Structure 1
Amino acid sequence: MVIILTLNVVKDYLKIDYEDEDNYLTELLEVSLIYIDSMVGEGYKNDEKAVKLAEILQKKLVSDMYNIRGTNIDIKTKQDRIVSSILDKLSNYITES
């Protein structure tokens, strides 16, 4: 599996300077990429700007899952417009055969 972000980039983003969470963070990186790819496909990976958007989205997803310690979303949670708009943009890219 290709991980757009590295563990070190995510740890820097989350301001984590210890190794205790490395396995968990690696899992969150994988899950966040699976989520993005399942929502929009992989066509965006051929466009440098789209990959940058995906990286921002992946940081947000990892941060959210890390801070809540899970993937459950409260039914009362409002939709995140940034996440929705990035997913919408990334879905416009077509996978080249």
Structure 2
Amino acid sequence: MMGMQNRYNTLHGGVVATIAETMALACVKSVAGDKDFFLGEMATTFLSATRVNEEVEVDGCIKRHGRNVIVTSVEFRKKKTRQLVYSGRGIYHSMPVASL
């Protein structure tokens, strides 16, 4: 796991944000069908730290699925205690259809 931890031997914030975005994108792809979309906003909240060797469960879900907007939520919990340690929220927008 070299490179995934910071100098405090906890999971690096960039790794958390990357996992949150990847999970959110998987959720969006599961409901977007053949529509193209883009990420409008991504927010990650760091509530606590986790050691690199701790097991963390990541759950993602769709909070809102409208005609042009999809909102996702991602939660990271310590597997042993179920403590919420990180959370993420993504807002995705449908690509406008070009008219020529």
**TM-score, length of structure 1 as denominator length:** 0.35
Larger Rg over CA atoms: 2
Select the structure that is richer in helix.
1
**TM-score, length of structure 2 as denominator length:** 0.35
Select the structure that is richer in strand.
2
